[in-house]
Amino acid sequence: MALQGIRVLDLSRVLAGPWATQMLGDLGAEIIKVEKPGSGDDTRHWGPPFDPTSGDAAYFQCANRNKRSLALDFAQPEGAALLRELAGQCDVVVENFKPGSLARYGLAPEQLLAAHPRLVVCSISGFGHSGPLRERAGYDFVVQALGGLMSITGAPDGEPQKVGVAVTDLFTGLHAVVAILAALRHVDATGEGQHIDLALFDCQLAMLANQASQYLSGGPEPRRMGNAHPAIAPYETLACQDGELVLAVGNDSQFARLAALLGARELAGDARFARNADRLAHRAQLREALEQRLRTQPRTHWQVLCDAAGVPATAVQSVAEALEHPQARARDMLEALHPGQDAQAAGTRLAVASPLKLSRTPVRTRSAPPLLGAQGPQLLAEFGVNEARIQRLMASGVLGRPPGLGMDEGGGG
């Protein structure tokens, strides 16, 4: 696999960091998820629903495949010392603690790099390690609001809306993967590690894309437009006889084909609608003219004609419909997690698979999301920690016991 041989010490929790490390794991990296004994990642408890196999929340399941769990209390000096040792045998450390909070454990980025110069340390926080908000906790919802996204999401006459999934977390996770891969390339070339300082706020601003660019180029301040597009028309939901159809007409030739299939070729020759700029200037009149024709037939009728004419269009599907769509099946976007992929699991369930399709180094799900601390003693043994020390760590509570391991049972690798 592409990242085989790369070892990642994952101190992150919730979504942005775990999303990044799951993707690295999908590509073949070894991911060691460090969690607090007893409770673990917050998202293990963000339910219902809870996965009947593991007892963990379904939320946790979406971002933690291809990882092994080490339950380690590094708030205790012996736990912090052990974690510093483990970092020296890893290529990457990913953490999403508030800036400065890891310094008391000797785990701050500058402390880790001083001890291990080849290490790549990726810090993910709400607002980064500089600026007036650096010490504020960052949550996706808050950053969607502060970073402008909610101001352009929702109906024009409605309240600002967040996106239906935590897109700021997810985009930050993707940016983290890109930055980590670039930093690893630099290590290969120079032997020099580095610190990556990623902020949800920064990633949210970058995600504004054309909306930010248009404003910075002298355009009006972006506003909520529902499903309409600020720079393309028609690019929105339009009413048919039995519901709404999404039309995404990206150029003038597509519009001409749309007008033809609607039996209204004259629209493409109308000076108000001939070019995209004209259509934007007369958006309300265009919508009225299109819906007058679309309302004469059901959505399936227009869908067939649009598909044949190469005009992008679709009905709005539910999550269930999207997951069950033949295209999702054809692309292998659902996978079964089998008991054999995790000795601690039982039963089989479906999960969304990685979207990465690499011809030479395909991604592979090697293990289901781990139970809390399931591989702790085994992992420490692989790092060279002797059996006596492992037993002492478990007895003191620094190391969480694997599920099913009694107080008097051993746990060494």
Q: Splitting the chain (413 residues) into consecutive groups of 10 residues, what average pLDDT does each group show? A: 97 97 98 96 95 88 96 97 97 97 97 98 97 93 97 96 97 98 98 98 97 95 94 96 95 97 95 96 96 96 96 95 96 80 59 95 93 95 96 96 63 33
Q: For tokens 């990206």, what's the residue?
A: 250
b/e for 156-193, b at 16 or more Cβ within 10 A? eeeeeebeeebbbbbbbbebbbebbbebbeebeeeeeb
Distance, in Å, from the CA atom of 323 to the CA atom of 330, rounded to the nearest integer, reads: 11
Query: What local confidence, expressed as pLDDT, does residue 413 receive?
Result: 29
Residues 6+ positions from 355 with CB-CB distance below 8 Å: 333
Q: What pLDDT score does 143 carry?
A: 97
Going along the chain from its start, the domains and CATH numbers come out as 7-206+330-396 (3.40.50.10540), 235-319 (3.30.1540.10)
328's tokens = 């999702």
Kindly list the distances between the CA atom of residue 16 and the CA atoms of 39, 175, 177, in Å, as whole numbers in the listed order. 19, 10, 10
Helix (H) or strand (E) holding 334, with range, is strand 334-337
Q: Which of 56, 169, 197, 342 is catalytic?
A: 169
Query: Given the DSSP bridges, would you call strands 120-125 and 92-95 parallel, antiparallel or unpaired?
Result: parallel
Closest CA to 177 of 45, 17, 46: 17
d(CA 319, CA 239): 21
Tokens representing residue 230 in the block: 């600020």
Residue 170 tokens read as 């997810």
169 tagged catalytic: yes
Residue 215's contacts (CB-CB under 8 Å, 6 or more residues apart) are 221, 222
Closest to 18 in 3D by CA, of 226, 177, 231, 137: 177
pLDDT of residue 411: 37
270 secondary structure, DSSP code: S
pLDDT at residue 202, as a whole number: 98
Helix 209-216 / helix 200-207 crossing angle, nearest 10 deg: 70
d(CA 8, CA 4): 11
Give the span between the Cα atoms of 255 and 279, in whole angstroms: 10
Asked if residues 93 and 119 have their Cβ atoms less than 8 Å apart, the reply is yes
Q: What is the pLDDT of residue 223?
A: 95
Which position has the token pair 């700021």? Answer: 168
- Please give the DSSP secondary-structure letter assigned to residue 264: -
**CB distance 180 to 19 below 8 Å:** no
Nearest alpha carbon to residue 287 among 226, 243, 236, 222: 236
DSSP letter for each residue of 305-326: HHHHHT--EEEPPPHHHHHTSH
The number of residues in the chain equals 413
